[in-house]
Amino acid sequence: MTKLVTLNNGVKIPQIGFGCWKVPNKICADQIYQAIKSGYRLFDGATDYGNEKEVGQGIKKAISDGVVKREDLTIVSKLWNSYHAPKNVKLVVKKILGDLGLDYLDVLYMHFPIAQKFVEIDRKYPPAFYCGEQGWEFEDVPLAVTWRAMEDLVQEGLVKSIGISNFTGALIQDLLRGCRIRPQLLQIEHHPYLVQKDLIKWVQAQGIVVVAYSSFGPQSFIELNSKTAQDTPPLFTHPTIKKIAAAHDVSTAQVLLRWATQNDVCVIPKSSKKERLLQNLKSDSFDLTETELDEIDGLDQHLRFNDPWDWVQGDVKKKIPTFL
């Protein structure tokens, strides 16, 4: 059983979970079912991933087969950019719950600090970057307004914990000034090429749990034809990571995950192979030395693979300065 971490509302969640991004629809239900059988209890999904119906099918089978009970699981989703207006927050969460076949979410994140034009669910779902025939358009909804609507979902019992994703320190600080419910979690891109050490320490000092995505660096973005990822040496074969893995007789993936969890950062890797599923889940079974942690920190290049600035081409006025 993986270590549990306690959120600032007293809720406990697994430190190691299963990420649902890019899990193909055809195999998704079985992947979720097999991951539950392997011991995973946290599943990190999102509206934008387009596979929540299949995630729900895997959960339903595991529960009906007696593998787990609903209360054993931490089910996560994310509010996409198209639904930031308060009237649309509850609307889409009802859709998410319907797709998952659940009565409540354990965690709901605001996926990005970006409000894009609303697109009706029956027109295109998930909408991704589609805003209509006119191309990319923003919607004038302050983050604090969206956050209040998420707080309302907690009070209504539709969501247990709420968090933010891809936020900078200044945005978090501003949100904290006016919130009724402090964010329980922050999810960020985090790997040895993008360490973000100061942000993590500051956020943790605020009582907010940090969750890493893309723990393996460029790996997830190579298949998306990201030139930056394709031009970056893979972490799995990096000499420093290989040396440390050999010293502990573990895989390089386990080293990358342990580097995060040993810094009190949660992780959400995925794999379609049972052996790797189990390896990832057991990546907290050894400890890295302080020297090894420092060596991995030293690989930092401030290299971000998931930057909204790259989403919109052409007119700079329409570009998204999330991390500028």
| CATH code (residue 198) | 3.20.20.100
SS3 98: helix
Model confidence, pTM: 0.97
pLDDT tens, residue by residue, 241-263? 999 999 999 999 999 999 999 99
CA distance 101 to 207: 31
Residue 264 lies in a domain: yes
Using DSSP's 3-state secondary structure scheme, residue 180 falls into coil
Element (H, E) at 198: helix 197-205
Q: Could you report the per-residue pLDDT of 92-132, keeping only the tens digit for each?
A: 999 999 999 999 999 999 999 999 999 999 999 999 999 99
Task: Report phi then psi at 162, rounded to 5.
Answer: -125, 145
Whether the per-residue pLDDT at 1 is higher than 80: the answer is no
| In-domain check, residue 176 | yes
Q: Is 324 a member of any domain?
A: no
- DSSP symbol at 49: G
275 is a domain residue: yes
- Kindly give, in sequence order, each residue whose CB lies less than 8 Å from that of residue 10, ignoring residues fewer than 6 positions away: none
Q: What is the pLDDT of residues 34-88, one digit of tens each?
A: 999 999 999 999 999 999 999 999 999 999 999 999 999 999 999 999 999 999 9
pLDDT in tens, 270-323: 998 999 999 999 999 999 999 999 999 999 999 999 999 998 888 898 899 999
The yes-or-no answer on residue 49 being catalytic is yes
Of 49, 83, 109, 193, catalytic: 49
Amino acid, res. 48: D
Average pLDDT over residues 4-9: 98
- The separation between CA 280 and the C-alpha centre of its own chain, rounded to angstroms, equals 16
Classify residue 200: in a domain, yes or no: yes
Q: Total structural domains in the chain?
A: 1
What is the chain's percent helix, strand, coil content, to nearest 5?
40, 15, 45
Res 147: pLDDT: 98
**Domain span at residue 104?**
4-318
For residue 50, tell me if it sits in a domain: yes
Residue 323 lies in a domain: no
Q: Would residue 163 count as lying in a domain?
A: yes
